[in-house]
Chain A
């Protein structure tokens, strides 16, 4: 069956309204906490550290009130990738990694294939880390509006505008991208339907398996690009008509303010991350 609905299984980027503690945090807090925890994930290679991280992640998801089922469903598109990675690591990375609190023990060796308890740990830990990153990213965007993220990032970047970082312009670029990506996705869907109606071979299995020859790509890409450029032209006129002349001198409608809970959360996030980093070698297994 042809399936034309693209956005169904992608949980990243999909805002789900709610009133939890997490929802109400300042977006900057969430961005910073996200960065801190991701740093911790990067440095954690032991089973126990990752168990801690998985628990922390699940705890945050529960706090946010977002259905666990929904977040788990975001794994579906990634499963093939995880499996391929896991198999490669299991079979070929035996010597790359020394397991915590133990010595490398070869489990199976044959030619290139070298399975050790190290590679087993690598596989499991990698899978856990992938899941943590996916859940955290998903959670960040599920509990924060993309506009919030944009304004948060702009605010965090603003101190750097003195050294030439165009914070305001970048934020506007991101806002416009967020605004038009769903529109272009819809347009792509219509284009696919129009061409399918003329007999083109489109999407008989899976969502993105319609690209086999460059001819077939042109059928979809040309109208899509033309549409994107037309929209761009119109938007430029509209922005000029509304007196846009660049980031300098613009005031800001959205004002972000830190509350007590934001300071606490940032501090906790930083402490947690530093602790995981400093004590990473003290984890038992």
Chain B
């Protein structure tokens, strides 16, 4: 197969995945995915339960291997067993349920789990743990028991645990869906910071307003990518998204409705401030202020 260019940190070609391929009723979860992800991207994947988004993510960090097609991470093909560890330490994954990914009974010991598995030498372990906890702003909690943390704090510990392996890609598999608004805010802030420092982020979510965090959005439905582009572009297709029974952020929906009544109103607004700005502009323009 062709060698991937170093430009793309993740390259996916013709990916098909079947659950239970040998059984009578295999589930065809991914039906031909082509996707390129560049270093530093913040890609958001949205779609319903069953659209294949989680399956896609697991094909990237080799928790699953393709039944057809190929996935390359940093030029390494995921089908080759020898690449497994290298890929998994380059692509970290944080899961939906905070409690079910924390292994140890003390925060800093859990964060050390990943690097310990990689055999990182003992003096470096302490450095990595401190750095990772600092990045997610949980350094003050390092001696605490995970049991006593809030869900948002637990997720940040999980992120630290993954970052301590110094991966280049961070996958968040619906990592905010069990959190309250505050917890979600804190986790998104931590992820944003990581992305600003160059970590490639792949976020799977069903919260539309979180999709606005990324520089790219793909919409999945029935195992295929049905829409792709920048958040704005994608969300302005309110009608299509509605038929797929996906939400758009309320701000975009508001703009869309205004656009329906007045075609000069831009329909592809995303942020609260943008909408407020546009309305204010029109009000001032009208009153001649």
Contacts and interface: CB of A to CB of B under 8 A. Distances in A.
Interface of A: 145-147, 172, 175-176, 178-179, 182-183, 230-231, 234-235, 237-245, 249-255
A183 B103 contact: no
Nearest to B102: A179
A253 B112 contact: yes
A220 B206 CA distance: 32
A178 B112 CA distance: 17
Given A243-B88, A244-B117, A251-B125, A238 B109 contact: no
A245 B85 CA distance: 9
6 contacts: A231-B99, A238-B93, A238-B101, A242-B92, A243-B117, A253-B116
A253 B117 contact: no
Task: Give chain B's interface secondary structure class.
Answer: helix
B103 A179 contact: yes
Nearest to A186: B147
Contact of B89 (A145, A234, A238, A243): A243
Interface residues of B, number: 39
A242 B105 CA distance: 17
Interface of B: 58, 61, 63, 85, 88-89, 92-93, 95, 97, 99-106, 108-109, 112-122, 125-126, 129, 146-147, 161-162, 165
Contacts of B116: 250-253
Contact of B165 (A179, A237, A242): A242
A251 B120 contact: yes
A234 B114 contact: no
Q: Which of B93, B102, B103 has the most CB of A within 10 A?
A: B103
B125 A235 contact: no
Contact of B104 (A179, A182, A240, A255): A179
Contacts of A237: 58, 63, 95
Q: Which of A175, A242, A251 has the most CB of B within 10 A?
A: A242
Contact of B101 (A146, A182, A235, A255): A235
B105 A145 contact: yes
Contacts of A234: 95, 97, 100-101
